[in-house]
Chains A and B, each alone.
Chain A
Amino acid sequence: MNELDILLGVFIGVVTGIIPGLHVNLLIPFLGNTILLLGIAVSHTFFDFIPSLFLGVPDEGSAVASLPGHRLVMKGDGIKAFRATAISGFLSSLLFVLFLPLAYSILRSRLVVLVLVVLVFSLVLFSSRSIGVSIGLALASAGLFYLFDGYLSSTAMFVAFFSGLFGIPTLINAFVSDSRIPEQVDGIPRVRISFAFLASFLGLIAGLLPGITSSMTGLVADLKTEMEDMARVFLLGGINTVYLLSSFLAIWIIGRPRSGVAIALEGHGITLIPALFVAVSSSFLLAWFIGPWIARIYARLVNRTTNLVVMTIVSGIVISQGGYAFLLFLASSSLGIIAYYLRIRRTVCMSFIILPVILNYFL
């Protein structure tokens, strides 16, 4: 294990991050418990916003950001939005250390954990404007989750479900409407230190609470409906990175790691902490200097043909997870398309992840 492995991982994470639909957990079987994986995972959280913003194809962490982010891209502010996620990811990672003692004291109580999980669940479900249809979609998603539970690994399930729910409807709509991405203007977004603090706290909570993902806590942004899209994207950029860092530190706070990568790297012990900050700072510098360049290439490439190619890549990644994964992908794509055209927020479908956690506490 050495410093160069982390930096090499950060470079590889740039590539994995910009491939739409690719989840870091899919690399674990090939890389084992090497520190390379840590660099990849951190860098991935910075760069996965590019496909999320420009194609509307997010992964688990950037799902909620794909909708306001895509709106910014269509206004020509995609590069500024990407810079906002990078700044937030970096600053929030520095600030979240301040919340560690608070999180430790809060999460020692099972009752508090339960209340927090229920609160996030309610927020996801009831912040939607059409509660009836939203509950229907949430239950359908939960049904799919139980139907495929046992047939698929959790990684395959997330890859298939999120690609179908968030990626395919946006890609199909872009394909049908043949919408082109306008010229993107570079610039420095407004820095919101208070949002970086909020992102740190929410990312930490998401990283430690059972059944909660970074996208769910990101729904806090939806509570304030008049919030600008740039502010939402800034908030979500921080949550996404801090969520990953917390999933590593969970081993010391709640006694077990909370992500596939953290489980794979559990044996590295305390060395992981400085390694995480090496990866965060180098990922930020790469995102700052080469991210806008990659984003510009992305913006130029997006057209009907590339939409079709991306749909093929995403389907290929899902098919590589097996036939059941592809079935789940088809089903979640259908749910996503229904929600998209009925104008129901697709994030309500994510509440399916929380249901089993709540049931486990009550039963």
Chain B
Amino acid sequence: MGGEGNENFEKDIVLLALLVLLVSTAAFIAVRRTETVYSLDPSLIGKRVTVQGKIVHRINANGVWIAFLDTGASKIKLVSFSGEPSNKTSFTGRVAEYKGDLELVIGE
């Protein structure tokens, strides 16, 4: 392939594209691992997600804090809740299934 451009140009631009592909794929995987969700559904079981919402209620069951979060779209139950400030609106953890309901296990 001849041409009026720089002869090394083809190699450079292809390498640059591969680099961008690598970096953006890594970023995509990292972001997706903590994707923000507004309601939990079964497809999220096992995934690490961030839930945005406010704590409406919390209880201590045998030393484990359980909180109920209202996202506007649904109510989500958090276990192993470490008692962060009640005005916090973003919680990250892994989605688990518990007695038929979905809940977010914080801190795993």
Contacts and interface: CB of A to CB of B under 8 A. Distances in A.
A188 B1 contact: yes
B36 interface: yes
A186 B2 CA distance: 7
Interface string A146-187: 000000000000000000000000000000000000000011
A281 B20 contact: yes
B29 interface: yes
B24 A271 contact: no
Contacts of A188: 1, 3-6, 9-10
Interface string B5-49: 110011001100110110111011111100110000000000000
A80 interface: yes
Contact of A189 (B3, B21, B24, B31): B3
Interface string A80-104: 1000000100100010000000000
A285 B21 contact: yes
A90 B1 contact: no
B36 A90 contact: no
Given A281-B17, A285-B14, A285-B17, A187 B1 contact: yes
Nearest to B29: A3
Contacts of A8: none
A16 interface: no
B17 A187 contact: no
Contacts of B1: 186-188
A87 to B, nearest CB: 6
Contacts of A285: 14, 17-18, 21
Contacts of A359: none
Contacts of A271: 28, 31-32, 35
A270 B17 CA distance: 22
Contacts of B13: 87, 90, 288
A271 B29 CA distance: 9
Given A269-B36, A277-B20, A288 B14 contact: yes
A282 interface: yes
Contacts of B24: 274-278, 281
B31 A282 contact: no
Given A6-B28, A282-B21, 18 more contacts: A186-B2, A187-B3, A188-B1, A188-B4, A188-B5, A188-B6, A188-B9, A191-B5, A191-B9, A269-B36, A276-B24, A277-B24, A277-B27, A278-B24, A278-B28, A281-B17, A281-B20, A288-B10
19 contacts: A1-B32, A3-B28, A6-B28, A80-B3, A90-B17, A94-B20, A187-B5, A188-B3, A188-B10, A271-B28, A271-B31, A274-B24, A274-B28, A274-B31, A280-B20, A281-B18, A285-B21, A288-B10, A288-B13
